[in-house]
Structure 1
Amino acid sequence: MRPKKQENPPQDELFQVRLETICNPANALVRLADQMDWDHLDEQFSSLFSSEGRPAIPTRMMVGLTLLQSLYSLSEDDVVNRWAENPYWQYLCGETFFQHRPPIARSGLSKWRKRIKSKGMEALLQQTLAVGLSVGVVKASSLKRVSVDTTVQPKAITHPTDSKLLNRSREHLVKLAKAQGISLRQSYQRKGPQATLKAGRYAHAKQFKRMRKSIKTLKTYLGRVVRDIERKTDIVATELKDALTQAKRLLSQNPRDSHKLYSLHEPHVACISKGKAHKKYEFGNKVSVCVTNKEGFIVGTQGLEGNPYDGHTLKGALDQVTELTGIRPKRCYVDRGYRGHGVTDTDVFISGQRRNIAPAIKKELKRRSAIEAVIGHQKTEGRLGRNLLRGLLGDKVNALMAAIGYNLRLILKALSCWLQILKELFGSLAGCHYQSLSLAV
């Protein structure tokens, strides 16, 4: 059923305290809550629910928790548990009285993300853009000049090695076969971990001939288990069938193959090389980020599947910016990895370009490198440094949450700067309370 409306009771309760009396109206989170268009978000997300059944959690509550999770880069457990300790968080989520219990179960946030999907997260990113325009963090004229770049979003998986993947696949098959009552001839429960341990030790000692021999032994163990399962059953469950497909893929792939399997629970993970000295390879997916050239405010981000060529992703990035802002960028600044992009409706300037460049465009082209700092902040302060969400949908949602958190930090910083200006203007006035002055302004 559609989410129920949050009502503001006009009458006080005897044993409850109103958040209005606790929270400072000049606080940045309070002012952010007043700037958000909650009714518009409620209309957007209400269509995702059926008209029957139990009423869902209010939209403002779920959106507020998602914004807090993106802003502070918290897990579902942390944001739900800490919500009951912070009155400002409760005010942002639409509560009237101070609450002492968590508002929802931890799984509610992950289920809500699966319901709204990436389009719903794009609506939240669009809302941060609207708030940024109203606060003055970004100007409307800046939306016509953007910078685009890509980065790698590492997935939360262990470092893949052949020995580890082969042994883990064998263990998974043995476990599924036992659950279905299939009696295996031999499970290699003792020999498998021993061969894995030897392969790691040989690799550390740079005895690669012995290491390859141990890996070949692990392939033999896995192949025997696969053939034993296929001989003893004709009707295979879906989970066991997928595990057999992954095992055969591991047995057939070679070191120099493309589209290799690097993780059993995240089979879509790709190996991406970005030319970094400290980290030669990263395992995850590529993310496209688009920011305004002047302020560095994120106006679009996309979690891409695998490792596509940068030039092929530019058109999709500009289309997303047009959809979110309603303005088609006139000038776009990219690095040399975007050569051969094929975009004709937007003027694209590549880093290092010298001919037919006006002074204004040359100045903006120098600002292109500022997007690297934006990506760095998303990785160190946000969620882009390690993606903990599962699947292809998790790749897209995590990239959007990192962008939402970055924009919110810029907005809160701007709101705090306004408070500092108010203090300097009115702090010296005798007999005048700063809180009442901020309300008047």
Structure 2
Amino acid sequence: MYRKKDKKTQELFKDLMPWGGKLNENNRWLRLQELVPWEELEAEYSKYFSENRGRPGLDSQLVIGTICIKHMLKLSDEDAVEQVLENPYMQAFCGLESFATENLFNDSSLSKLRKRLGKKYFRQLEKKVLEVLKERKIIKARGVLVDATIFPSNVRFPTDTGLLNEVREWLVKQIKEIQKSAGVKWIRTRCRKARNEYLSFSKKRKKTKKAVREITKHMLQYVRRNVEQAANLIEEIRVKGTEVKEVIHRKIEIIELIFKQQLDMYRRKSHNVKDRIVSYAQPEVRPMVRGKAGKPVEFGPKAELSLVDGYMFLDWLSFDNFNEAKKLAESIKRYTERFGKKPEKMIGDGIYGNRDNRNYLKGEQIRSALKPLGRKSKTQEYQKEKCWIKKQQRIRNQIEGFIGHAKEHFGLNKIRYRIDGGSEIWVRMGLLAMNLDTTLKRLPAR
């Protein structure tokens, strides 16, 4: 259930200080509060709750405000809730009328609400804030800069033996729990022997190819044995009328796929396989070969980004290593949806300069800062266009800096959400936090 409250004509923090102190109107949180359309967001927020059943949900401004604070300051859920409790300006941003001195809510509620709201709600949040920026003429849309990047997921660097040992440990844990709850005959999982073998291998300073191949073979044998044991055990208790949770079935399916991939690579003496799973906890993550210095391979979703007047937006996000040149039309479409018009110019690096994109931009009457094809000309018009393209390509470097800034200061160097659609939520909120920070620098002091 969700109840709306009237927030009009209420004095801000009436009982905050007994000596009649006031909050500084130039504080960033009070200025940001005016940029977020809380009432419109509350109308969307209330749709995710029953009208007359259950306990009343947390106030929308309190929840969304805390999530914004979390991403703007790179905090954990626990620290974000603690910061709001300690800071009167943050409490004002979150819509509280008086200073709260006790816990507002449990930090686990944020995770549950993100899961309930889903990525669709956070798309609406981004859209509503953008409408305010356009209405107040803070953002001026003329051209668009496009680029792609990888936002790394919070996964351990994958190794074949480590991944197999991880799934083996999970299988053994589930087998023991099912045996204990169902009261069936105890099964020998050989978990102690497998653990000792893995620890002995992992402690080696230098791991030879022969040693790696040997431990991989043993881990494959243990996993195959434990998968068969788990399947037989689940079938045994099912006959007796007991069913295991659906999530266990899904995880066993993932483990079987991991086993098939690892067995295939072991037999072929290779380290490549199609749609390779590198993390048991996040099976959607794929290795992205980028070939960049220091990071030849990255693990996380690939994003197509647009930069408009210093504001960055997410156009496309996928765990597949797509060709960003094929997403240019998608970026132009998203720009048109956001601003109600086509961009005057498009600036991108050389990968966007294929013939399909050139023909598309020409058909849409969008000027492109792409190096012209064919022979060089000595005409004045050609030289003038060449100078303009060089100037625009220098401007293109801005988007590289903005991407680095987002990763360094707004938590996009590591995606930590693991819920369904969590990667998109994390990226959108990180970009929204950066856009709000950009807006703060443009707003005049009161």
For the superposition of Structure 1 and Structure 2, which TM-score range results when normalised by the shorter chain? 0.7 to 0.9
- Partner of residue 436, structure 2: 408
- Partner of residue 322, structure 1: 336
- Partner of residue 281, structure 2: 265
Q: Does 1:335 align with 2:354?
A: no
Pick from 178, 187, 190: which aligns with 2:189?
187
Q: Deviation of residue 192 (structure 1)?
A: 1.5
SS, match of residue 98 in structure 2: coil
**Contact 2:122/2:425 (<8 A) preserved:** yes
- Partner of residue 51, structure 2: 51
Distance 1:113 1:312 in 2: 31
- Partner of residue 397, structure 2: 369
Shift of the 230–129 alpha-carbon distance from structure 1 to 2, 3 Å rule, reads: closer
SS, match of residue 410 in structure 1: helix
Q: Deviation of residue 227 (structure 1)?
A: 2.5
**Contact 2:155/2:279 (<8 A) preserved:** yes
- Partner of residue 378, structure 2: none
- Partner of residue 247, structure 1: 255
- Partner of residue 284, structure 1: 300
Q: Does 1:175 align with 2:176?
A: no
Judge which range, 3-12 or 273-282, deviates more: 3-12
- Partner of residue 32, structure 1: 32
Structural mapping, 1:25-424, within 5 Å: 25-53=25-53, 54-133=55-134, 137-139=138-140, 143-181=141-179, 183=185, 185-201=187-203, 204-234=205-235, 235=238, 237=244, 238-253=246-261, 254=265, 255-292=271-308, 295-340=309-354, 342=356, 344=360, 345=364, 347=366, 349=368, 352-353=371-372, 357=385, 359-415=387-443, 418-419=444-445
Q: Supply the AA of the counterpart residue of 1:196.
A: Y
Q: Supply the AA of the counterpart residue of 2:259.
A: L
**Contact 1:8/1:96 (<8 A) preserved:** no
Distance 1:30 1:392 in 2: 33
Judge which range, 212-221 or 352-361, deviates more: 352-361
Unaligned runs of 5+ in 1: 420-437
Q: Deviation of residue 359 (structure 1)?
A: 4.9
SS, match of residue 396 in structure 1: helix
SS, match of residue 281 in structure 1: strand
- Partner of residue 427, structure 1: none
**Contact 2:74/2:409 (<8 A) preserved:** yes
Q: Supply the RMSD in Å over aligned alpha carbons.
A: 2.9
Q: Deviation of residue 12 (structure 1)?
A: 10
SS, match of residue 104 in structure 1: coil
Q: Deviation of residue 175 (structure 1)?
A: 1.4
- Aligned pairs, how many? 412
Shift of the 302–392 alpha-carbon distance from structure 1 to 2, 3 Å rule, reads: farther
**Contact 1:184/1:228 (<8 A) preserved:** no
Distance 2:22 2:303 in 1: 41
Shift of the 112–225 alpha-carbon distance from structure 1 to 2, 3 Å rule, reads: closer
Distance 1:20 1:373 in 2: 45
SS, match of residue 282 in structure 1: strand
Judge which range, 119-128 or 78-87, deviates more: 119-128
Q: Supply the AA of the counterpart residue of 2:413.
A: G
SS, match of residue 258 in structure 1: coil
**Contact 2:369/2:392 (<8 A) preserved:** no
Q: Deviation of residue 354 (structure 1)?
A: 6.5
Q: Deviation of residue 144 (structure 1)?
A: 3.4
**Contact 1:303/1:399 (<8 A) preserved:** no
Identity among equivalent positions (%) equals 26
Distance 2:418 2:19 in 1: 36
Q: Supply the AA of the counterpart residue of 2:195.
A: P
Question: Normalization by structure 1: what TM-score?
Answer: 0.83
Q: Supply the AA of the counterpart residue of 1:307.
A: N
- Partner of residue 435, structure 1: none
**Contact 1:137/1:410 (<8 A) preserved:** no
Q: Supply the AA of the counterpart residue of 2:193.
A: K
Judge which range, 308-317 or 280-289, deviates more: 308-317
Give deviations 1:78-118, integer Å, cap 9, x for gaps.
11111111111111112222221232221222233223322
SS, match of residue 79 in structure 2: helix
**Contact 2:175/2:233 (<8 A) preserved:** no
SS, match of residue 307 in structure 2: strand
Q: Supply the AA of the counterpart residue of 2:171.
A: L
**Contact 2:415/2:426 (<8 A) preserved:** yes
Distance 1:379 1:85 in 2: 27
Q: Supply the AA of the counterpart residue of 1:398.
A: W
Question: Normalization by structure 2: what TM-score?
Answer: 0.83
**Contact 1:269/1:283 (<8 A) preserved:** yes
Q: Supply the AA of the counterpart residue of 1:326.
A: G
Q: Deviation of residue 303 (structure 1)?
A: 3.0
Distance 1:91 1:368 in 2: 38
Q: Deviation of residue 361 (structure 1)?
A: 5.0
**Contact 2:315/2:330 (<8 A) preserved:** no
Shift of the 327–117 alpha-carbon distance from structure 1 to 2, 3 Å rule, reads: farther
Give deviations 1:250-291, integer Å, cap 9, x for gaps.
222122102111111111011012222112211111122111
Shift of the 373–250 alpha-carbon distance from structure 1 to 2, 3 Å rule, reads: same
Distance 1:263 1:146 in 2: 36
Q: Deviation of residue 172 (structure 1)?
A: 1.0
**Contact 2:300/2:319 (<8 A) preserved:** no
Q: Deviation of residue 13 (structure 1)?
A: 9.9
Shift of the 15–339 alpha-carbon distance from structure 1 to 2, 3 Å rule, reads: closer
SS, match of residue 275 in structure 1: strand
Unaligned runs of 5+ in 2: 266-270, 375-381
Q: Deviation of residue 74 (structure 1)?
A: 1.5
Q: Deviation of residue 14 (structure 1)?
A: 9.2
**Contact 1:302/1:399 (<8 A) preserved:** no
